[in-house]
Amino acid sequence: MKRFLLALALALPAAPALADNDLAQPRWANEQLPDPRQEAAAQGLMGTLRCLVCQGQSIADSDADLAGSMRAMVRTRIAAGERPQAIRAWLISRYGNWVSFTPSVEPLTWPLWAAPVILLLAGLWLARGRFGKRR
């Protein structure tokens, strides 16, 4: 028990210093839309948008304030009837391709899309001697 209390006392000052604010998140940041079809569309889009603060998470996964604001923006616009593709295009026009978690097909990303095929062909080439000649 003593040990536990000591551990607790040591853990308390380790509470992270939050460079954040205590303002409540906008309503649609963490509340689902009443229409399941719209909510599904919003979820689908949010999973493919990158959080600008955490950079490795989608806005659906991130607890950052800005990610909450982005989720609220996505849900509000979907509820207003906007297409997910239009919302994605709007964000890309502000933040660049970086904000999208699904890479677009363009000359810059061709190597990315070609890499699996090239690696598979290279692997087959490496293993070519192993096929057929088993005796």
Which residue, 6 or 83, has its beta carbon nearer to another protein?
83
Q: Residue 50, SS3? A: strand
The reply on whether position 66 binds another protein by CB under 8 A is yes
User: How far from each other are the two terminal CA atoms of the chain, in whole angstroms?
Assistant: 70
Residues in region 18-37 near another protein by CB under 8 A: 19-21, 23, 26
Which residue, 11 or 85, has its beta carbon nearer to another protein?
85
DSSP state at residue 16: -
* Contact predicate 50/9, CB 8 Å: no
The reply on whether position 91 binds another protein by CB under 8 A is yes
Which of 32, 70, 29 is CA-nearest to residue 51? Answer: 70
| Ramachandran class of 77: left when φ > 0, alpha when ψ lies in -120 to 50, beta otherwise | alpha
Which of 48, 53, 58, 101 binds another protein (CB under 8 A)? It is 53
The reply on whether position 84 binds another protein by CB under 8 A is no
The reply on whether position 110 binds another protein by CB under 8 A is no
Say how many residues make up the chain. Answer: 135
The reply on whether position 70 binds another protein by CB under 8 A is yes
Which of 6, 98, 112, 119 binds another protein (CB under 8 A)? It is 98
Size of the site for another protein (CB under 8 A): 22
C-alpha dihedral sign at 31, 36, 61, 85 = negative
Q: Which residues bind another protein (CB under 8 A)?
A: 19-21, 23, 26, 52-53, 55, 65-66, 69-70, 72-73, 91-96, 98-99
